[in-house]
Chains A and B, each alone.
Chain A
């Protein structure tokens, strides 16, 4: 148990369980079922106003609200950390409106809502990872019109996405996309994985957990069912590669995690530390260190 963990408690009076009314939750669950049935396909839904601003995770919050029940254990992370302000705000929202138990443990959580990261600890069957998605449409910056991009998806016409990657190669000598790296889901739909670093893309491929994506402001839901292939876009002669310099976490020594670069004092000393605070803390504990939060 850490300070983040909190047992299930009383709910905020005057509001429905998990804020949304039951009809809305049912609509979202129906749309999620459709999304699961067509992996990577964006399903429109009638996104509601939530007590947080659209663009601050309301899509993910609505997905979580539609799924959560009293027996769930919820973890919320932002930038990999349980302790960033927006993660705290969302976790508290569900603690108050759904009275659920919250945790920082990736293993213990039944639902993990995330912004910008996939946890380092591998997920398992039965877990649900809910992504907050700012812009769901992978072709949006190539074609601003929704009426057009829907046609392109219907026809699986993804040439422009490859051209855009090729243009990066022509300009920089390599694919220069470090996050929100487009993926092909189930060899059919081009999908934005949300702005996770491309470092996290391989974790999506054939993940045993159900991956749900909610874009509240843009009113779209999509999903990757367990064990679905998720392939990062690449060329035969330019395979997808994670190109990060070899470094280790200054706090836990991990060499396999995504690292934040942190200015540690007023003299500008920099350290590198795991962005996944729970993973880092667990590793420090296992080594008998006194845990320092990154």
Chain B
């Protein structure tokens, strides 16, 4: 008998075996190592860490390898693994002001204290396929360090003051939210209820799908809830993570992570009581995911529309719309569940449709009796 979705156990075993074969590809081609993925596909690793909500480049490389390069599947693998980790505390807030900056640019200021540091960016490359990369490259001979001029991207040694601080001195920009020491909500422990506060929104955006966030942020630039952003500062580099162990009572550094932080400067608010001033949007992403950080900052700002008394109505301003649909693991899970058998419901619909059509035919063939 024809049994499309039944006969499960053996079919599943066979599917797993086929998957492993596909993953490996042609065995004559050398197998990828995690080090290769981590070192040479770094942005894919960063994206998997962002959406997987777990900072671990090695495991992210493993997830990418296992997922055959599928970023959503890789993020999913990381999320599930993350869920099995014991949770022994919350870190202190990151001090991104103390970042070892490798890249820092501002679109709002021509120059700024500390300078613009381009770092490793593809922004000004011409997007021409580089056929030289078809063959393995010779490593650059030692001694040819990049020229250490301003803007060329050698890592800054000292601390870089925040670009937006100078606006703050004039009170042209709203003060950054103060840390009042209140407990920070945790979206992985407390179910989201609406309206969500800003911390919950930022947490959701931080693990949200880059593509979805970019699309929504783009919509806000095209008139669906315009927030007139400038890039106040993008900074990228390593920051220390500190934890206060209960038994010590003071903060100890437990490691360093690489992050991209983005602050936008947006148009004004102001009313009878408050002088007009610039507003802020904030984005933070693991690794060098600066596109993600920028989209997040634009959306953070557009989701503040209600708080700032702006006219509402655009999708990018709608908390429930943005936050409930940003998580690509939830979204793909539910969308792809359509592949599961639904034949019971479909059968119920089929019988219903037959009955409706029968009734329709009867009405049609006896129109006078219909009333």
Binding site for B on A (CB under 8 A): 15-16, 19, 21, 44-51, 53-56, 58, 78-81, 83-89, 92, 115-117, 134, 144-147, 172-174, 176, 178-180, 195-199, 217, 219, 243-245, 258-266, 275, 277, 292-294
Contact = CB atoms under 8 A, between A and B. Distances in A.
Chain B interface size, as a band, is: 35 or more
A47 B191 contact: yes
Interface stretch (B146-154, B172-180, B332-340): B332-340
A201 B170 CA distance: 67
B8 A85 contact: yes
Given A53-B336, A147-B195, A83 B80 contact: no
Given A51-B80, A292-B1, A178 B335 contact: no
B347 A259 contact: yes
Given A46-B188, A46-B189, A146-B320, A80 B344 contact: yes
30 contacts: A16-B84, A21-B86, A44-B193, A45-B191, A46-B188, A46-B191, A56-B333, A56-B337, A56-B340, A78-B340, A78-B341, A83-B6, A84-B341, A85-B6, A85-B12, A86-B340, A88-B8, A88-B12, A145-B194, A146-B320, A172-B359, A197-B344, A243-B355, A245-B351, A260-B344, A260-B347, A262-B1, A275-B344, A293-B3, A294-B6
A46 B8 CA distance: 31
B278 to A, nearest CB: 30
B342 A116 contact: yes
A53 B333 contact: yes
Contacts of B9: 88, 92
Interface in B312-352: 320, 324, 329-330, 332-337, 340-345, 347-352
B82 interface: yes
Contacts of A87: 8
B11 interface: yes
Contacts of B334: 54-55, 134, 217
B58 interface: no
Contacts of A147: 194-195, 320
B282 interface: no
A156 to B, nearest CB: 20
B238 interface: no
B5 to A, nearest CB: 5
Contact of A84 (B5, B76, B195, B332): B5
B44 to A, nearest CB: 20
Given A116-B342, A219-B192, A294-B6, 10 more contacts: A49-B76, A56-B333, A56-B337, A79-B343, A81-B6, A178-B351, A196-B344, A258-B344, A260-B343, A293-B1
A48 to B, nearest CB: 5
B309 interface: no
Contact of B6 (A47, A84, A258): A84
B320 A85 contact: no
Contacts of A244: 351
Secondary structure class of chain B's binding surface, majority of residues: helix
A113 to B, nearest CB: 14
B190 interface: yes
A21 B189 CA distance: 13
Contacts of B12: 85, 88-89
Interface in B163-201: 188-195
Given A54-B329, A116-B342, A199 B348 contact: yes
Nearest to A54: B333
Contact of B344 (A47, A51, A179): A179
Nearest to A80: B344
B2 interface: yes
A53 B8 contact: no
Contacts of B194: 145-147
Contact of A172 (B8, B189, B348, B356): B356
Contacts of B337: 53, 55-56, 134
A44 B196 CA distance: 14
A178 B80 contact: no
B333 A85 contact: no
B143 interface: no
A117 B344 contact: yes
B66 to A, nearest CB: 13
Contacts of B363: 173
Nearest to B335: A55
B7 interface: yes
Given A46-B191, A260-B344, A275-B344, A85 B11 contact: yes
Nearest to A175: B352
A179 B345 contact: yes
B80 A50 contact: yes
B191 A144 contact: no
Contact of A49 (B83, B193, B344, B350): B83
Contacts of A115: 340
B26 to A, nearest CB: 29
Contacts of A146: 193-194, 320, 324
B79 interface: yes
A145 B320 contact: yes
B19 to A, nearest CB: 14
- The 4 lowest CB-CB distance pairs between A and B, nearest first, are A53-B333, A88-B8, A55-B334, A44-B191
